[in-house]
Structure 1
Amino acid sequence: MNRPLVGVIAVVCHRDRVVLVQRGKQPSAGMWGFPGGHLELGETALQAAVRELHEETGVAALPLEYLTNVDVILRNDDGEIAHQYLLVAVLCEYQKGTPTPADDAEQAIWMPVNDLDSCGLPLLDRVADVACMAQARLRDRSPSPSAANT
Protein backbone atom coordinates (compact mmCIF):
# COMPACT_ATOMS: atom_id res chain seq x y z
CA MET A 1 0.00 0.00 0.00
CA ASN A 2 1.37 3.39 -0.84
CA ARG A 3 -1.30 5.76 0.49
CA PRO A 4 -3.98 5.93 3.18
CA LEU A 5 -7.56 5.01 2.31
CA VAL A 6 -10.72 6.81 3.40
CA GLY A 7 -13.47 4.80 5.02
CA VAL A 8 -16.64 5.44 6.99
CA ILE A 9 -18.17 4.07 10.16
CA ALA A 10 -21.85 4.35 11.08
CA VAL A 11 -22.42 5.17 14.75
CA VAL A 12 -26.02 4.33 15.63
CA CYS A 13 -27.21 4.85 19.21
CA HIS A 14 -30.71 3.88 20.30
CA ARG A 15 -31.99 3.51 23.88
CA ASP A 16 -28.46 3.83 25.31
CA ARG A 17 -27.16 1.05 23.04
CA VAL A 18 -24.98 1.13 19.96
CA VAL A 19 -24.80 -1.19 16.93
CA LEU A 20 -21.53 -3.14 16.78
CA VAL A 21 -20.29 -5.77 14.36
CA GLN A 22 -17.60 -8.38 14.60
CA ARG A 23 -15.38 -8.03 11.56
CA GLY A 24 -15.28 -11.14 9.40
CA LYS A 25 -12.42 -10.18 7.11
CA GLN A 26 -8.93 -8.76 7.40
CA PRO A 27 -7.76 -6.36 8.46
CA SER A 28 -8.94 -6.78 12.04
CA ALA A 29 -10.93 -10.00 11.56
CA GLY A 30 -12.58 -11.03 14.82
CA MET A 31 -12.46 -7.53 16.29
CA TRP A 32 -15.60 -5.60 17.22
CA GLY A 33 -16.40 -2.11 15.98
CA PHE A 34 -18.91 0.00 14.14
CA PRO A 35 -20.32 -1.09 10.79
CA GLY A 36 -18.47 0.60 7.97
CA GLY A 37 -16.30 0.34 4.93
CA HIS A 38 -14.95 2.13 1.92
CA LEU A 39 -16.50 5.07 0.14
CA GLU A 40 -17.68 4.35 -3.37
CA LEU A 41 -16.92 6.80 -6.14
CA GLY A 42 -19.50 9.59 -6.20
CA GLU A 43 -21.02 9.03 -2.76
CA THR A 44 -20.62 11.20 0.30
CA ALA A 45 -19.40 9.83 3.62
CA LEU A 46 -22.92 10.31 4.97
CA GLN A 47 -24.38 8.17 2.18
CA ALA A 48 -21.65 5.54 2.52
CA ALA A 49 -22.22 5.20 6.28
CA VAL A 50 -25.91 4.34 5.96
CA ARG A 51 -25.23 2.06 2.97
CA GLU A 52 -22.54 0.14 4.85
CA LEU A 53 -24.72 -0.03 7.98
CA HIS A 54 -27.56 -1.57 6.00
CA GLU A 55 -25.30 -3.95 4.04
CA GLU A 56 -23.59 -5.26 7.18
CA THR A 57 -26.52 -5.33 9.63
CA GLY A 58 -29.86 -4.76 7.88
CA VAL A 59 -30.44 -1.74 10.15
CA ALA A 60 -31.85 1.38 8.52
CA ALA A 61 -30.79 4.82 9.76
CA LEU A 62 -30.62 8.44 8.72
CA PRO A 63 -27.24 10.16 8.66
CA LEU A 64 -27.30 13.16 10.99
CA GLU A 65 -23.81 14.66 10.98
CA TYR A 66 -20.10 14.06 10.89
CA LEU A 67 -19.06 13.04 14.41
CA THR A 68 -15.27 12.71 14.33
CA ASN A 69 -12.40 11.11 12.42
CA VAL A 70 -10.46 8.05 13.52
CA ASP A 71 -6.91 7.40 12.30
CA VAL A 72 -6.12 3.71 11.92
CA ILE A 73 -2.52 2.67 11.24
CA LEU A 74 -1.95 -1.08 11.29
CA ARG A 75 1.59 -2.45 11.28
CA ASN A 76 2.93 -5.88 10.34
CA ASP A 77 5.26 -7.94 12.53
CA ASP A 78 8.27 -6.01 11.21
CA GLY A 79 6.75 -2.68 12.27
CA GLU A 80 6.05 -1.59 8.70
CA ILE A 81 2.71 -0.01 7.89
CA ALA A 82 0.42 -2.68 6.43
CA HIS A 83 -2.80 -0.64 6.26
CA GLN A 84 -3.71 2.97 6.94
CA TYR A 85 -7.22 4.38 7.00
CA LEU A 86 -8.87 7.65 7.88
CA LEU A 87 -12.31 6.65 9.11
CA VAL A 88 -15.04 9.26 9.03
CA ALA A 89 -17.46 8.56 11.90
CA VAL A 90 -21.02 9.47 10.98
CA LEU A 91 -23.67 9.90 13.65
CA CYS A 92 -26.84 8.16 12.47
CA GLU A 93 -30.41 8.18 13.73
CA TYR A 94 -31.88 4.69 14.10
CA GLN A 95 -34.99 4.09 11.98
CA LYS A 96 -35.70 0.35 12.02
CA GLY A 97 -34.26 -3.12 11.96
CA THR A 98 -32.58 -5.67 14.18
CA PRO A 99 -28.83 -6.07 13.71
CA THR A 100 -28.29 -9.23 11.69
CA PRO A 101 -24.82 -10.05 10.36
CA ALA A 102 -24.35 -9.90 6.59
CA ASP A 103 -21.66 -8.91 4.08
CA ASP A 104 -18.37 -8.48 6.01
CA ALA A 105 -19.86 -8.96 9.51
CA GLU A 106 -19.61 -12.23 11.46
CA GLN A 107 -21.92 -11.00 14.21
CA ALA A 108 -24.04 -7.89 14.76
CA ILE A 109 -25.47 -6.75 18.10
CA TRP A 110 -26.87 -3.90 20.14
CA MET A 111 -24.38 -3.20 22.94
CA PRO A 112 -25.14 -0.93 25.91
CA VAL A 113 -22.76 2.03 25.67
CA ASN A 114 -22.08 1.87 29.42
CA ASP A 115 -20.90 -1.76 29.06
CA LEU A 116 -18.29 -1.14 26.35
CA ASP A 117 -15.36 -0.78 28.76
CA SER A 118 -16.24 -3.99 30.62
CA CYS A 119 -17.88 -6.18 27.96
CA GLY A 120 -14.84 -8.39 27.36
CA LEU A 121 -15.13 -8.17 23.58
CA PRO A 122 -11.98 -7.35 21.60
CA LEU A 123 -12.90 -3.80 20.55
CA LEU A 124 -11.17 -1.80 17.86
CA ASP A 125 -9.43 1.38 19.01
CA ARG A 126 -11.66 4.26 20.13
CA VAL A 127 -14.97 2.34 19.93
CA ALA A 128 -15.96 3.23 23.51
CA ASP A 129 -14.84 6.85 23.12
CA VAL A 130 -16.71 7.36 19.86
CA ALA A 131 -19.86 5.67 21.22
CA CYS A 132 -19.84 7.97 24.27
CA MET A 133 -19.28 10.97 22.00
CA ALA A 134 -22.27 9.92 19.88
CA GLN A 135 -24.49 9.42 22.90
CA ALA A 136 -23.57 12.88 24.23
CA ARG A 137 -24.15 14.49 20.84
CA LEU A 138 -27.60 12.91 20.61
CA ARG A 139 -28.46 14.22 24.09
CA ASP A 140 -27.35 17.69 22.97
CA ARG A 141 -29.53 17.45 19.86
CA SER A 142 -32.66 16.39 21.76
CA PRO A 143 -34.92 19.10 23.15
CA SER A 144 -35.11 19.08 26.92
CA PRO A 145 -38.43 17.89 28.41
CA SER A 146 -39.14 21.39 29.73
CA ALA A 147 -38.48 22.94 26.30
CA ALA A 148 -40.88 20.46 24.68
CA ASN A 149 -43.69 21.60 26.96
CA THR A 150 -43.37 25.32 26.20
Structure 2
Amino acid sequence: MRKPTLKPQVAVSIAARNADNGAFLLVKRGRAPSKGKWAFAGGRVEFGETLVDAAIRELHEETGLVASNVTFFAPVEIINNDAGADYHYILCVHTGTARGTPIAGDDAADVRWVALEDFDDFDVTDSTLDFAQRIARRDQSSNCD
Protein backbone atom coordinates (compact mmCIF):
# COMPACT_ATOMS: atom_id res chain seq x y z
CA MET A 1 0.00 0.00 0.00
CA ARG A 2 1.36 3.41 -0.97
CA LYS A 3 1.52 6.21 1.53
CA PRO A 4 -0.61 9.17 0.37
CA THR A 5 1.37 12.04 -1.09
CA LEU A 6 0.68 15.29 0.70
CA LYS A 7 0.52 18.24 -1.65
CA PRO A 8 -0.03 21.95 -1.11
CA GLN A 9 -3.66 23.00 -1.51
CA VAL A 10 -4.70 26.22 -3.23
CA ALA A 11 -7.13 28.17 -1.07
CA VAL A 12 -8.61 31.66 -0.87
CA SER A 13 -9.71 33.99 1.85
CA ILE A 14 -11.59 37.25 1.59
CA ALA A 15 -11.13 40.25 3.84
CA ALA A 16 -14.62 41.64 3.30
CA ARG A 17 -15.14 45.13 4.69
CA ASN A 18 -18.49 46.62 5.57
CA ALA A 19 -19.29 49.12 2.82
CA ASP A 20 -20.90 51.44 5.39
CA ASN A 21 -18.43 51.48 8.30
CA GLY A 22 -15.24 49.65 7.25
CA ALA A 23 -15.55 46.81 9.79
CA PHE A 24 -14.11 43.44 8.76
CA LEU A 25 -16.29 40.34 8.42
CA LEU A 26 -14.84 37.61 10.64
CA VAL A 27 -15.86 33.96 10.78
CA LYS A 28 -15.37 31.74 13.84
CA ARG A 29 -14.01 28.53 12.36
CA GLY A 30 -16.14 25.50 13.12
CA ARG A 31 -13.62 22.94 11.85
CA ALA A 32 -9.87 22.38 11.73
CA PRO A 33 -7.54 23.91 10.92
CA SER A 34 -7.77 26.68 13.52
CA LYS A 35 -11.12 25.48 14.90
CA GLY A 36 -12.56 28.08 17.29
CA LYS A 37 -10.39 30.91 15.97
CA TRP A 38 -11.68 33.95 14.13
CA ALA A 39 -10.51 34.52 10.55
CA PHE A 40 -11.65 35.80 7.20
CA ALA A 41 -14.04 33.57 5.26
CA GLY A 42 -12.26 31.20 2.94
CA GLY A 43 -11.55 27.71 1.75
CA ARG A 44 -10.25 25.58 -1.09
CA VAL A 45 -10.56 26.51 -4.72
CA GLU A 46 -12.72 24.10 -6.69
CA PHE A 47 -11.62 22.68 -10.04
CA GLY A 48 -12.33 25.13 -12.88
CA GLU A 49 -13.06 28.01 -10.51
CA THR A 50 -11.22 31.33 -10.65
CA LEU A 51 -9.66 32.65 -7.46
CA VAL A 52 -12.06 35.61 -7.34
CA ASP A 53 -15.08 33.34 -7.90
CA ALA A 54 -13.83 31.03 -5.12
CA ALA A 55 -13.51 33.97 -2.70
CA ILE A 56 -17.04 35.18 -3.53
CA ARG A 57 -18.44 31.64 -3.15
CA GLU A 58 -16.70 31.01 0.18
CA LEU A 59 -17.96 34.30 1.62
CA HIS A 60 -21.50 33.47 0.56
CA GLU A 61 -21.34 29.88 1.88
CA GLU A 62 -19.98 30.95 5.27
CA THR A 63 -21.91 34.20 5.82
CA GLY A 64 -24.82 34.40 3.39
CA LEU A 65 -23.47 37.71 2.06
CA VAL A 66 -22.39 38.57 -1.47
CA ALA A 67 -19.10 40.40 -1.95
CA SER A 68 -18.47 43.11 -4.49
CA ASN A 69 -15.32 44.89 -5.67
CA VAL A 70 -13.33 41.69 -5.06
CA THR A 71 -9.64 41.91 -5.94
CA PHE A 72 -6.54 39.89 -5.20
CA PHE A 73 -4.47 41.37 -2.36
CA ALA A 74 -1.55 39.06 -1.53
CA PRO A 75 -0.45 35.43 -1.22
CA VAL A 76 0.60 33.70 1.97
CA GLU A 77 1.88 30.20 2.59
CA ILE A 78 0.52 28.43 5.67
CA ILE A 79 2.26 25.21 6.68
CA ASN A 80 1.48 23.11 9.75
CA ASN A 81 3.32 19.88 10.47
CA ASP A 82 1.83 19.19 13.90
CA ALA A 83 1.06 15.55 14.61
CA GLY A 84 -2.31 14.65 13.15
CA ALA A 85 -2.86 18.06 11.55
CA ASP A 86 -0.61 18.23 8.51
CA TYR A 87 -1.58 20.87 5.99
CA HIS A 88 0.08 23.19 3.51
CA TYR A 89 -2.02 25.94 1.95
CA ILE A 90 -1.09 28.44 -0.70
CA LEU A 91 -3.61 31.04 0.43
CA CYS A 92 -4.62 33.83 -1.94
CA VAL A 93 -5.99 36.69 0.16
CA HIS A 94 -8.59 38.90 -1.51
CA THR A 95 -10.34 42.09 -0.47
CA GLY A 96 -13.89 43.15 -1.14
CA THR A 97 -16.92 44.88 0.29
CA ALA A 98 -20.26 43.58 1.51
CA ARG A 99 -23.38 44.79 3.31
CA GLY A 100 -26.01 43.19 5.46
CA THR A 101 -26.46 40.95 8.43
CA PRO A 102 -24.30 37.84 8.14
CA ILE A 103 -25.60 34.41 9.12
CA ALA A 104 -23.15 31.61 9.97
CA GLY A 105 -23.32 28.79 7.45
CA ASP A 106 -21.25 25.92 6.06
CA ASP A 107 -18.34 25.35 8.47
CA ALA A 108 -18.70 28.69 10.31
CA ALA A 109 -19.58 28.48 14.02
CA ASP A 110 -20.29 32.23 14.19
CA VAL A 111 -19.82 35.32 12.05
CA ARG A 112 -19.59 39.02 12.94
CA TRP A 113 -18.64 42.44 11.65
CA VAL A 114 -15.63 43.52 13.75
CA ALA A 115 -13.83 46.87 13.75
CA LEU A 116 -10.06 46.51 13.58
CA GLU A 117 -9.66 48.18 16.97
CA ASP A 118 -11.85 45.42 18.49
CA PHE A 119 -9.82 42.47 17.14
CA ASP A 120 -8.19 42.06 20.59
CA ASP A 121 -11.58 40.94 21.93
CA PHE A 122 -11.55 37.94 19.57
CA ASP A 123 -9.19 34.97 19.23
CA VAL A 124 -8.09 36.04 15.75
CA THR A 125 -5.51 34.06 13.77
CA ASP A 126 -2.14 35.77 13.42
CA SER A 127 -2.39 35.95 9.63
CA THR A 128 -5.88 37.48 9.81
CA LEU A 129 -4.68 40.24 12.14
CA ASP A 130 -1.62 40.89 9.96
CA PHE A 131 -3.65 41.14 6.76
CA ALA A 132 -6.39 43.28 8.37
CA GLN A 133 -3.75 45.77 9.52
CA ARG A 134 -2.10 45.83 6.09
CA ILE A 135 -5.43 46.29 4.31
CA ALA A 136 -6.51 49.06 6.71
CA ARG A 137 -3.20 50.90 6.09
CA ARG A 138 -3.63 50.52 2.33
CA ASP A 139 -7.21 51.76 2.44
CA GLN A 140 -6.29 54.69 4.68
CA SER A 141 -3.43 55.77 2.41
CA SER A 142 -5.61 55.47 -0.71
CA ASN A 143 -8.23 57.71 0.94
CA CYS A 144 -5.56 60.37 1.50
CA ASP A 145 -4.66 60.60 -2.20
What's the TM-score, normalizing by structure 2? 0.85
CA distance in 2, matches of 1:97, 1:59: 7
Q: CA deviation at 1:20?
A: 0.4
What CA RMSD, in Å, does the superposition of the two structures yield over aligned residues? 1.9
How far apart are residue 35 of structure 1 and its match?
A: 0.4
1:9 aligns with 2:19: no
Answer 1 or 2: which has greater strand percent. Answer: 1
Structure 2 equivalent of residue 148 of structure 1: none
Aligned-residue offset at 1:87: 0.8
Going from structure 1 to structure 2, the CA distance change for 1:36 and 1:63 (only over 3 Å counts) comes to: farther
- The aligned runs of 1:1-150 (5 Å cut-off) are 2-14=6-18, 15-77=21-83, 82-94=86-98, 96-116=99-119, 118-119=120-121, 121-142=122-143
What CA distance in whole angstroms lies between the structure 2 residues aligned with 1:139 and 1:48? 27
Preserved contact between residue 33 and residue 85 of structure 2 (Cα < 8 Å):
no
Q: 1:133: how far off? A: 1.9
- What are the superposed Cα offsets for residues 55-75 of structure 1, whole Å, 9 maximum, x if unpaired? 100111114321111221112
Query: How far apart, in 1, do the equivalents of 2:8 and 2:125 lie?
Result: 18
SS of the aligned residue for 1:122 comes to coil
Q: Percent identity among equivalent residues?
A: 32
Q: Point out where structure 2 has 5 or more consecutive residues left out of the alignment.
A: none
Take 2:92 and 2:117, find their aligned partners in 1: how far apart are those partners? 23
Take 1:92 and 1:70, find their aligned partners in 2: how far apart are those partners? 18
Q: Distance in 1 between matches of 2:52 and 2:144?
A: 23
Contact 1:20 1:110 in 2 (8 A): yes
Question: Do the aligned residues in 1 keep the contact of 2:17 with 2:96 (CA within 8 Å)?
Answer: yes
Structure 1 runs (4+) deviating above 6 angstroms are: none
* Cα deviation 1:17-50 (Å, max 9, x = unaligned): 1000011112221111000001111111111101
Q: CA deviation at 1:93?
A: 2.0
Cα gap change, 1:104 to 1:139, in 2 (>3 Å): same
Pairs aligned (count): 139
Unaligned 5+ runs, structure 1? 145-150
